[in-house]
Chains A and B, each alone.
Chain A
Amino acid sequence: MTGKNTSQGDCQAVEPLLSSFAAGALDEPAERRVRDHLAACRACREEQMARDPTALFYELRRVPLPDGFLDDLAVNVRRRIESRSSLWARLVDRAAGRGPRRLAYVLAPVMTLLLLGTLFLVRPGRPWRQGFRAHGQGGIVSPYAVPPGSPAPDRSGRTAPRLPAGPATGAATAPPLMEEVQSGSARVYRFTVESGGDETPIYFIVDEKIDI
């Protein structure tokens, strides 16, 4: 039995090996030799198909292609490579590395950082949203900041602390005052807010005997 591309000697050499080949009992070089022969020799292949029908698929190694089927492949590849040679495409390619998944790995942390950074910069209450302004020129000023020229608050004694002007009070409103009012055992503080000619007193009573 001979196939198209093999000699009778090949077939005679391979024939005794076919049963062992089907049983998977050959070593690697002999197995490869039989496979290569079955791919080339149709007669041996068809005989082997009685033992192992999958021998049919050795035929696929020699499938003829339609004329010119792959002729333009190299040209098309070259054309596509050249069309992607722009700087941006190369950057994307390099970032992508092993494909879109790699690109996602690169872009995800970058986008997350950008998002967090944007939120941090534009969230309400950040001084740089209003711009830094000198004290007394408007803008946002801490209610606990000491205005320039005012006496430093005395923590030790019972002197009347003077709170600075609040930011919202503006020029038309006098700064609120807090002063200690004389009393017996408890300490009483009066906090006066003046606005538009009216005075609103607010009292704070501090008595150590009161147990809430």
Chain B
Amino acid sequence: MDEQELIRRSAEGDLDAFEVLVERKKERVFWIACHIVGDEELARDVAQEVFIRLFRVIRRFREGGRFDAWLHRIAANLSIDLLRRERPYREATTLDAIHEPSAADGAAGVPAGAPRRGREARESPTDEALRSREVQRVFTVLSSLLTRKQRLAFVLREIEGLSTSEVAEIMKTRESTIRNHILQARRILQEEMRRRYPEYCRPRPGTKDS
């Protein structure tokens, strides 16, 4: 069924159509929330709230508008709201409780911060998932140093792959402001990564030849 038709029927209260719409959009909404709040369980709760809110306000959506941008704005706002409520806790913990990679981690099979040489050639799906979790953890720790707007702009454009204009529409600001947020975010992240995770900043031997 066409997306506009699903939106129209959802606006009329058709829960079957809305369920289909949720199925189509849930993954992107979940990932936006996850990259902002930094926790998969919380992100799933946020995603549920996003769709409940969406059902409540979907009749306000103007036909011809960018539905995805509208939905992503709801997701970003709810995630930021959650982050704002959790902020005292997060600031107290994430900055201090940075888990530095250790030999014990490597021995236990947990991927440490440093990528291992030649690992990609032998990496199993489990290794890949663990590595992804490690990268997510590094991002969660470092992104707590960004302002909310920098974090949101970075997540939406750099990680989620939205265009600058889409991000500007979601954040209700100019494209130049978005570029500026991302530039500043990248500078902060680069400095902190070089300081805390230098192993991620070295070129890995053999990558050129692969």
Q: What is the bound-complex CA distance between A73 and B48, given in angstroms?
A: 7
Determine the interface band of chain A, counting residues with CB < 8 A from chain B: 35 or more
Whether B132 contacts A52 by the Cβ 8 Å rule is no
Chain A nearest CB from B26 CB (Å) reads: 5
* B74-103 near A? 1/0 per residue, CB < 8 Å: 000000000000000000000000000000
Output the residue of A52, A63, A64 with the most chain B CB within 10 A: A63
Determine if B122 is an interface residue (Cβ-Cβ < 8 Å): no
Chain A nearest CB from B38 CB (Å) reads: 11
Whether A63 contacts B132 by the Cβ 8 Å rule is yes
Whether B159 contacts A61 by the Cβ 8 Å rule is yes
Whether B132 contacts A59 by the Cβ 8 Å rule is yes
Q: What is the bound-complex CA distance between A2 and B107, given in angstroms?
A: 30
Whether B197 contacts A69 by the Cβ 8 Å rule is no
Chain A nearest CB from B165 CB (Å) reads: 8
- Determine which of B18, B44, B52, B209 lies in contact with A70 in the assembled complex, contact meaning CB atoms within 8 Å: B44
**Which chain A residues lie closer than 8 Å to B202 at the CB level?**
50
Q: What is the bound-complex CA distance between A43 and B125, given in angstroms?
A: 17
Whether A60 contacts B136 by the Cβ 8 Å rule is yes
Tell me the nearest residue of chain B to A11, going by C-beta: B210
Q: What's the dominant secondary structure at chain A's contact region? A: helix
| Cβ-Cβ contact count across A and B, 8 Å cutoff | 119
**Which chain A residues lie closer than 8 Å to B194 at the CB level?**
53
**Which chain B residues lie closer than 8 Å to A10 at the CB level?**
none
Say yes or no: A42-B164 contact (C-beta < 8 A), given A60-B159, A73-B26.
no
Q: What is the interface size of chain B, counting residues whose CB is below 8 A from a CB of the partner?
A: 50
The segment out of A31-39, A148-156, A174-182 that lies at the interface is A31-39
**Which chain B residues lie closer than 8 Å to A86 at the CB level?**
none
Q: What is the bound-complex CA distance between A84 and B53, given in angstroms?
A: 12
**Which chain A residues lie closer than 8 Å to B47 at the CB level?**
70, 73
A60-92 with Cβ < 8 A to chain B: 60-65, 69-70, 73-78, 80-82, 84
Whether B161 contacts A56 by the Cβ 8 Å rule is no
- Determine which of A57, A65, A73, A76 lies in contact with B159 in the assembled complex, contact meaning CB atoms within 8 Å: A57
Whether A74 contacts B27 by the Cβ 8 Å rule is no
* B188-210 near A? 1/0 per residue, CB < 8 Å: 01100110010011111001111
Whether B210 contacts A43 by the Cβ 8 Å rule is yes
Q: What is the bound-complex CA distance between A43 and B118, given in angstroms?
A: 11
**Which chain A residues lie closer than 8 Å to B210 at the CB level?**
1-2, 43
Q: What's the dominant secondary structure at chain B's contact region? A: helix
Whether B193 contacts A78 by the Cβ 8 Å rule is no
Whether B52 contacts A81 by the Cβ 8 Å rule is yes
Q: What is the bound-complex CA distance between A56 and B52, given in angstroms?
A: 34
Whether B207 contacts A36 by the Cβ 8 Å rule is no
Determine if A46 is an interface residue (Cβ-Cβ < 8 Å): yes
Determine if B5 is an interface residue (Cβ-Cβ < 8 Å): no
Whether A42 contacts B120 by the Cβ 8 Å rule is yes
Q: What is the bound-complex CA distance between A147 and B11, given in angstroms?
A: 70
A-B residue pairs, 10 tightest by C-beta: A50-B203, A53-B193, A74-B22, A63-B132, A77-B51, A53-B201, A54-B189, A74-B19, A46-B207, A43-B210
Taking A63-B132, A70-B30, A78-B22 as known contacts, 9 extra A-B pairs with beta carbons closer than 8 A to each other, sorted by chain A number, are A28-B163, A49-B203, A50-B203, A53-B197, A53-B200, A63-B129, A73-B22, A73-B48, A74-B22
Give me 15 A-to-B residue pairs in the complex whose CB atoms sit less than 8 angstroms apart, sorted by A's number. Answer: A1-B207, A35-B161, A46-B207, A53-B200, A53-B201, A54-B186, A54-B190, A59-B132, A60-B35, A63-B135, A64-B128, A73-B48, A73-B51, A74-B23, A78-B15
